[in-house]
């Protein structure tokens, strides 16, 4: 802990990668894996363009349920500690795999949302993109002002990351003197490759997770425990 704190204090450039673990500490369930069943469906059955074209109402029922669950969650001390760290560092980038918006609500400003934002909608007809934080939504599936069908503003399985987002994330990782990897299993690509990118440029890599992950043997420091407890101590 002391060594990791020193690395962060001395770094002029810090990047952070967060995953579902930090949100789970706020009560947001892990929507993937064995615990991710909704009715009899897995996320892999619903979070695809094909599933949406086949039954947009069913897919929206799942996302509307997710939005209602997330709306009850609050940013935890881990989220707020990252805001404080951002305020201290002139060069800081927060890269997240999460779509729940908890980093925004905590006050983070420099966020790269690799997998999109569940609180945004996109029109399939006119390509409009707008925020909508209503939970539940009044009508499913929602439509755009132009009359076109709207979809969630997230990245589905089989879709590329948002234009330019991955290039920015790669640059942030390669520019960092310290990369914090928080609450991610490090198995979802391309996000999982960011630690390797940072390592190639000699960055110190600090992992915070409840358990060992796929990259634990590659990092410079692996801290076990909740991000909400470790991060405030780490940047104190």
Q: In sequence order, what are the beta bridge partners of 179?
A: 15, 205
Residue 113's SS3 state is strand
Our answer to whether residue 115 is catalytic in this structure is: yes
Catalytic residue among 115, 143, 171, 217: 115
Structure tokens at 225: 């425990």
How far lies 197's CA from each of 98, 107, 178, 201, 203, in Å? 20, 27, 12, 7, 9
Residue 76 near residue 59, CB atoms below 8 Å: no
The angle that helices 227-234 and 2-10 make with each other, rounded to 10 degrees, is 60
Catalytic residue list: 115
């Amino acid at each position: 802990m002391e060594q990791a704190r020193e690395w962060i204090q001395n770094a002029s450039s810090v990047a952070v990668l967060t995953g579902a673990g930090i949100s789970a500490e706020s009560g947001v369930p892990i929507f993937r894996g064995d615990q991710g069943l909704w009715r009899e469906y897995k996320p892999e059955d619903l979070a695809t363009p094909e599933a949406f074209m086949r039954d947009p109402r069913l897919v929206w029922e799942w996302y509307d349920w997710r939005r209602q669950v997330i709306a009850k969650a609050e940013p935890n001390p881990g989220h707020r500690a990252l805001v404080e760290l951002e305020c201290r560092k002139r060069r800081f980038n927060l890269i997240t795999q999460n779509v729940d918006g908890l980093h925004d609500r905590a006050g983070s400003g420099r966020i790269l949302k690799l997998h999109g934002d569940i609180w945004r909608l996109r029109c399939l007809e006119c390509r409009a993109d707008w925020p909508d934080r209503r939970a539940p939504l009044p009508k499913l599936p929602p439509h755009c002002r132009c009359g076109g069908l709207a979809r969630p503003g997230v990245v589905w399985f089989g879709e590329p990351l948002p234009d330019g987002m991955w290039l920015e994330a790669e640059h942030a990782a390669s520019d960092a003197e310290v990369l914090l990897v928080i609450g991610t299993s490090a198995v979802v690509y391309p996000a999982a490759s960011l630690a390797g990118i940072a390592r190639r440029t000699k960055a110190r890599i600090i992992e915070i997770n409840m358990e060992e992950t796929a990259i634990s043997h590659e990092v410079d420091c692996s801290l076990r425990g909740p991000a909400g407890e470790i991060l405030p101590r780490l940047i104190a």
